[in-house]
Amino acid sequence: MPCPELSTCNEILLKELKNFVPLLLFRWFCRKEYHRDIEGDLLELYELNATERGSAKAKWTLTREVLLLFRSGIVKGAKKRQQLNTTDMVKHTIKFSFRSYMRYKSSFFINLIGLSTGLACSFLIYLWVQDEKRIDHFHEQGERIYQVLTNEDTPSGIYTGEATPHLLADALVEEIPGLSRSISFSPLPNELIFTLEDQKMRASGHFASPDFFEMFTYPLVQGNPATVLSDKANITISEQLAMKLFNGLDNVLGQTLKWNLQGFESQGTITGIFQKPGNNSTHQFDYLIHFEQFEDLVRTYVGELTWETLQPFTYVMLEEGQNPETLSQQIRDFIQKKTGNDSPDLFLASFENRYLYGKYQNGEQTGGRIEYVRIFIIIAAFILVVACINFMNLSTARASRRLKEIGVKKAIGAGRRSLIFQFLSESVLLSLISTLLAIVLVNAVLPGFNRITGKSVFLHWDLQLIMVLSGITLLTGLMAGSYPALMLSAMPSVEILKGKMRNSLKAAMARKGLVIFQFTVSVVLIVSVTVIYKQVEYVQSKNLGYNKEALVSFPKEGRVASELDLFLNQARALPGVQHISAISNNMTRSATTIGQLNWEGKSPDMDVLFQFIALEYGMLETLGVEMVAGRSFSKDFATDDTKVIINQTALALMEMETPIGEFMDVSGQKMEIIGVTQDFHFESLHEVVDPAIMVILPQWTYNVMMRLQPGNHRETLESFSAFFKEFNDGLSPDLKFVDDSYNALYKSEQQVSVLSRYFAGFAILISCLGLLGLVAFTAERKRKEISIRKVLGCGVGRIMYMLSTDFISTLIYAMIVALPVSYFITKSWLDGFEYRINLQWWFFAGAGGLVLLIAWFTVSLQVFRAARVNPVMNLKDD
């Protein structure tokens, strides 16, 4: 029994407990229906304890009691009765969703096709992006691997390159604390010829320092990563190469292989077999040989290794917790002390990020492939939005048909929340069905997609993929459903039931806005696709200053290297060969640069690098490069190997009035200028033409170029191959057409070009589907009006005009928005190219016209059907 006198101090005690946390907690977790009387009990006990043992003790007891009350019978939560209700509601919603899909089949299919294509596009793009992000990210200690890059001053700005001084790698690890490893790596993959007894095999690979397998994670099938390259005579080869050479992997270790790289011969013992790097690696190699062999090769052909000649790539591994910025600064200081020169300037760049962030302009990181990744993510988002808009438009347009349902539901007590829930579940359910369809689609098109992109992606069902797919599905469903759900649930029920509701003006305006947005996206995509296509085409057909048709290139290797003169003379005599000669470049990448140049009138503070091109006689004729002044090299002049030819860019830089007969100082040697060539591109069109000097220096050449006579190229190449094989002890030549290699430089542009063409196609398909739905809906709603007009004598043409003007004007608004937007987008894309097309007015007019035409066709098809209908059919009901 509560003591009666306690009630007098009741109020004071209550005040004390007003904000007592445990009590608040109790109120929060306790079930509504128990809360009042249990709290009464607690308060009463508190009063009792407080008078007996003091309020501090009482509070403590109260806290304890509250904590002990936290048990399943007391805590509020999902109650059985409510659960039943929720499952019933879900069942109801699903049933209603399916009924509405079935009743309005056309909008269901339009939505289904739109959403599933949209989702399929974004899934594909997701797979592509994931694959791009995986490249080079498989090395166990990847985040500690950095590459040393060099900034060099050139007349056209700072050039950022990968070639580093020969002596760098060893010096770095000794003199810079904080680096645990440092390796040299030969720049381009070198094609060399392995000889095993009388068997010859060509393979492409690299030279690398001993630590290579310790730094990078390329698994070894046989051999120990720590020692596999420890000796100068060690060779490691890939499984595939081992299979080809030895027909098996047994007894391969310890075998001796002879190799020949462009005349340089050596041999070594196989000490390891590695798994060939997969598609996710930027390094691709079939063999790795100790780096000192490469240094020997350089010593033989170029000269002593110095701090000035830049050639190998250098990779370093940072010790745990080191900051690349501070190390970069240390390396910069170190190299300046070594060379006493500001250029080249060295810095560290993360190896893992090199693939996506590989582009530097004027020494600043300016993107790279990451730009394509971003473009595609944006395209995916746009296509999804366009597909969602279809759903929004069709649902709000058809709202009038569901008004009765909404009204009745509201009248019998459905809250706004449950209506929103209903419409959202309807759209989420639809997007779920679309996702399933999209997965089927993706699986169907993946082989084609892989062919276009040169990847090997597939749907790999792991947790991440499932999470992302369900995330995209849910997001799409919510995005598509949100607007209709909010709009439909907000309608006043009384007016709905009285039948006073009309499709509001606001909703119609919103629909128009969304259609404008859809078509804007379509037009922008089409303009972009046209520009990308034109640019790629332009690049491939641009006059390069030399003739790349029927020009074949192959490496100078084996006996061709050692007896070049003999080879060229014999080859010249072959039928179908017009010209043949050797050069140090392959016309797709820069080869050698030279800085130690001097001439009369050179300003002392001018510090530029020239391209250094080594030629054999007859090379300029083979390439078809025209002379602007002077003459080409000729064997008729005995001393032409001490003469030099420059290009127009070099002439402009040297500011000479009459260059012919002037002398220039090349690495301390005085050489007479005998000619000036027109500029020709020896690199990709991303780069400008650098100043270049050309000299006769056959021992420096790496490639042989051959011009074929017009006629049957295949026959010529067959007879040439036979000759080459005979000359080179059974080795067949590795012939490449220069225009093929040149086009390969633009592979990523071409991939983007093709992919974006498809995506633009999908965007316009989805947009038109939506438009089709809207037009069909309008025509159906106005069918009585149309019939009456027809009865009163209105012609088909007039009715079509009446029905389509509204849509066509909406489309024209879309054009007005789209054209300036696409202009800015394409212009900024083109700005990344050194040589680019001008934007033509007809790109825009063409894209706009095309979209208008397709849309108009869509509209008229429906409108024509509606206008042709027999009025009796629609009027007999009334």
Partner 1 sequence: MKKYQLGEFEEIVLLTVGILLDNAYGVTIKLEIENRLERTVSVGALQTALRRMESKGFLESKQGEGSSSRGGRPKLYFTVTNLGKEALQYTRETRNGLWDALPGAFNLQ
Residue among 128, 275, 131, 130 nearest 216 (CA): 275
Q: How far does CA 436 lie from the centroid of its chain?
A: 26
Near partner 1 by CB under 8 A: residue from 16, 51, 65, 595: 65
CB of 510 to partner 1, least distance (A): 52
Near partner 1 by CB under 8 A: residue from 10, 86, 279, 306: 10
Rank residues 71 and 460 by Cβ distance to partner 1 and give the closer one.
71
Query: Binding of partner 1 at residue 120 (CB under 8 A)?
Result: no
Answer positive or negative: Cα dihedral of 743, 747, 749, 753.
positive
Rank residues 41 and 600 by Cβ distance to partner 1 and give the closer one.
41
Instruction: Quote the CA–CA distance of 513 and 257 in Å, as a whole number.
Output: 71
Alpha helices in 643-746 (DSSP H): 648-654, 713-727, 738-744
Near partner 1 by CB under 8 A: residue from 43, 243, 253, 796: 43
CB of 82 to partner 1, least distance (A): 17
Q: Which residues pair with 314 in a beta bridge?
A: 148, 184
CB of 10 to partner 1, least distance (A): 5
Specify the amino acid at residue 37.
D
Query: Binding of partner 1 at residue 41 (CB under 8 A)?
Result: yes
- Please, what is the angle between helix 369-397 and helix 463-489, to 10°? 40
Near partner 1 by CB under 8 A: residue from 50, 58, 69, 685: 69
Query: Binding of partner 1 at residue 38 (CB under 8 A)?
Result: yes
Rank residues 72 and 658 by Cβ distance to partner 1 and give the closer one.
72
What letter does residue 641 receive in the DSSP assignment?
Answer: G
Q: How far does CA 823 lie from the centroid of its chain?
A: 23
Q: How many residues bind partner 1 (CB under 8 A)?
A: 28
CB of 54 to partner 1, least distance (A): 18
Helices vs strands, H then E, count in the chain:
29, 26
Instruction: Quote the CA–CA distance of 99 and 101 in Å, as a whole number.
Output: 5
Query: Binding of partner 1 at residue 499 (CB under 8 A)?
Result: no
CB of 4 to partner 1, least distance (A): 8
Q: How far does CA 713 lie from the centroid of its chain?
A: 38
CB of 133 to partner 1, least distance (A): 53
CB of 66 to partner 1, least distance (A): 8
CB of 9 to partner 1, least distance (A): 10
Query: Binding of partner 1 at residue 37 (CB under 8 A)?
Result: yes
Query: Binding of partner 1 at residue 14 (CB under 8 A)?
Result: yes
Residue 646 burial (CB count, 10 A): 26
Near partner 1 by CB under 8 A: residue from 68, 78, 638, 792: 68
Residue among 572, 831, 553 nearest 701 (CA): 553
Near partner 1 by CB under 8 A: residue from 20, 25, 29, 48: 48
Instruction: Quote the CA–CA distance of 298 and 292 in Å, as a whole number.
Output: 10
Near partner 1 by CB under 8 A: residue from 27, 53, 57, 64: 64
Site for partner 1 in 804-843 (CB under 8 A): none
Contact assessment for residue 677 and residue 623, using Cβ atoms and an 8 Å cutoff: no
Query: Binding of partner 1 at residue 40 (CB under 8 A)?
Result: yes
CA atoms in the 13 A half-sphere facing the CB of 143: 4
Quick note: the x/- pattern for partner 1 over 74-103, rule CB under 8 A, is x-----------------------------
CB of 64 to partner 1, least distance (A): 7
Alpha carbon separation from 821 to 380, 533, 844 (Å, rounded): 18, 19, 11
Quick note: the x/- pattern for partner 1 over 419-458, rule CB under 8 A, is ----------------------------------------
Query: Binding of partner 1 at residue 60 (CB under 8 A)?
Result: no
Query: Binding of partner 1 at residue 36 (CB under 8 A)?
Result: yes
Could you tell me which stretch among 37-45, 183-191, 545-553, 678-686 binds partner 1 (CB under 8 A)?
37-45
Could you tell me which stretch among 45-53, 129-137, 676-684, 690-698 binds partner 1 (CB under 8 A)?
45-53
Could you tell me which stretch among 35-43, 378-386, 776-784, 869-877 binds partner 1 (CB under 8 A)?
35-43
Contact assessment for residue 645 and residue 693, using Cβ atoms and an 8 Å cutoff: yes
Rank residues 34 and 813 by Cβ distance to partner 1 and give the closer one.
34
Near partner 1 by CB under 8 A: residue from 27, 57, 70, 329: 70
Site for partner 1 in 215-274 (CB under 8 A): none
Residue 480 burial (CB count, 10 A): 31
Residue among 509, 513, 529 nearest 851 (CA): 529
CA atoms in the 13 A half-sphere facing the CB of 429: 19
Contact assessment for residue 266 and residue 284, using Cβ atoms and an 8 Å cutoff: no
Query: Binding of partner 1 at residue 57 (CB under 8 A)?
Result: no
Query: Binding of partner 1 at residue 25 (CB under 8 A)?
Result: no
Q: Coil, helix or strand for 382?
A: helix
Look up residue 430 and give its two tokens.
């639809």
Specify the amino acid at residue 837.
I
DSSP conformation letters of 558-606:
THHHHTHHHHHHHHHTSTTEEEEEEES--SSS--EEE--EEETT--TT-
Rank residues 71 and 506 by Cβ distance to partner 1 and give the closer one.
71
DSSP conformation letters of 706-726:
EEEPSS-HHHHHHHHHHHHHH
Near partner 1 by CB under 8 A: residue from 34, 307, 357, 823: 34
Query: Binding of partner 1 at residue 6 (CB under 8 A)?
Result: yes
b (16+ CB within 10 A) / e for 194-217:
bbeeeebbbbebbbbbbbbbbbbe
Catalog residues that contact partner 1 under the rule CB under 8 A.
1-2, 6-7, 10, 14, 34, 36-45, 47-48, 64-65, 68-74
